[in-house]
Amino acid sequence: MTAGDSTLTGIQFAVTSAALDGDTSAVYHLATEALGEGMPFENLLFDVIAPVQRGLGERWARGDYLISEEHVATNTIDSVVSLLGGAFEQPEDSPRVVISCVEGEAHSLPGRMLAAHLLSEGFRTLHLGASMPADDLQQYLIEDRPDALVLTCTMTGHLPGARRSIEAGHGAGVPVMVGGPAFGENGDRATRLGADAWVLRLREVAEILRTWNPNPEASSAAAIEPSADLAALVAARPVIVATAAALLGGGPEGSAEHHQSVDLVFDALAATLTMDEDQLLFGYADWLATFDEAHSPGGPSPARKIGALKAAIDESHSDARVRLDAAIAHIAG
């Protein structure tokens, strides 16, 4: 480990501790002290705060933190990033960029960090936050007329929402760039969803905005069409999820916990049908096994949850049922 690595680790540990305490002042002073000692703002965001946030999410999934503890820490960091971003001017003649989570996506901190970073790079930015409905997003963009829309997505289950959000941008005549773990480690998913550009790392957005030459019409034409099963399944979603939750126990409509769990499996199925990519459902099943072991040992297994969802789906939706069977086989090895 180099001296630089040691310094980063020390700051990350201190920020994590203060954030878990909900101590906005302490996190703010740790950040400004690092900046005062010469750390570039970009490095503070993407080499300190981003790894801290990933660590919080990973440790919550493993059962080390309660969801309330993770929320306290995340909201504390979000407040500090907002304060830091407010120190930068927004020149009136600079390009205006709207940043938003895709429809359904709740993880808004990456977008908040990106907004602050772009401010530091001389752009004018507006961060719309979490889970912006696509119809409302399109209406806002029509009225605001920004130069670009940047969408973030963390969970692969929200890729159908990403498609709708990209269409909202193009429907308003605004070019769209996307980023976040849900889009994978190459630009293939972004292209198949119709985005004009994709970034692996959010710190790359500013450079692309300065050099890109987007063609929304061509990007939209390159987008794939989702499975014909999908629209009918989404329309029947409330009944399907309630039926599957009831099959897992807890009363006629299932327990709230079962309902939430099946709802997330449905998200993964919808993403698989949108992208024609079984690995999305397989990956969620693997994550769910680790999560359930930490948070609900003794509860229904991932295979049983997926099986309940399949049982609740009418046999006419053969594609969806085949995908769910494949996920159960994947779990069985």
Average per-residue pLDDT in the chain?
93
What percentage of the chain exceeds 90 in pLDDT?
A: 84
Q: How confident is the model at residue 252 (pLDDT cuts 50, 70, 90)?
A: low
Q: What is the pLDDT of residue 1?
A: 39
Q: What is the pLDDT of residue 92?
A: 87
Q: What is the pLDDT of residue 249?
A: 83
Dist. CA 96–CA 118, nearest whole Å:
10
Q: What is the pLDDT of residue 299?
A: 86
For the chain, the C-alpha Rg in angstroms (whole number) is 21
Which range, of 101-105, 163-167, 246-250, averages the lowest pLDDT?
Answer: 246-250
What number is the average pLDDT over the span 260-266?
93
Query: What does the pLDDT look like over 188-232, one tens digit per residue?
Result: 999 999 999 999 999 999 999 999 999 999 999 999 988 777 989
The answer to whether the CB of 138 falls within 8 A of the CB of 249 is no
HSE toward the beta carbon, residue 203, CA cutoff 13 A: 11
What number is the average pLDDT over the span 129-145?
96
Dist. CA 333–CA 329, nearest whole Å:
6
The answer to whether the CB of 227 falls within 8 A of the CB of 274 is yes
Dist. CA 127–CA 125, nearest whole Å:
7
Using CA of residue 249, residue 254, residue 257, residue 258, what is the dihedral sign? positive
What is the value of pTM for the model shown? 0.93
Q: How confident is the model at residue 2 (pLDDT cuts 50, 70, 90)?
A: very low
Query: What does the pLDDT look like over 280-307, one tens digit per residue?
Result: 999 999 999 888 888 888 888 999 999 9
Dist. CA 45–CA 51, nearest whole Å:
9
Which range, of 26-35, 106-115, 228-237, averages the lowest pLDDT?
Answer: 228-237
Residue 260 predicted with pLDDT over 80:
yes
What number is the average pLDDT over the span 257-261?
88
What number is the average pLDDT over the span 257-278?
93
What number is the average pLDDT over the span 49-76?
94
Residue 3 predicted with pLDDT over 50:
no
Tokens of 73: 């820490």
Dist. CA 93–CA 291, nearest whole Å:
48
- Dihedral, 284, 266, 226, 127 alpha carbons, nearest 10: -80
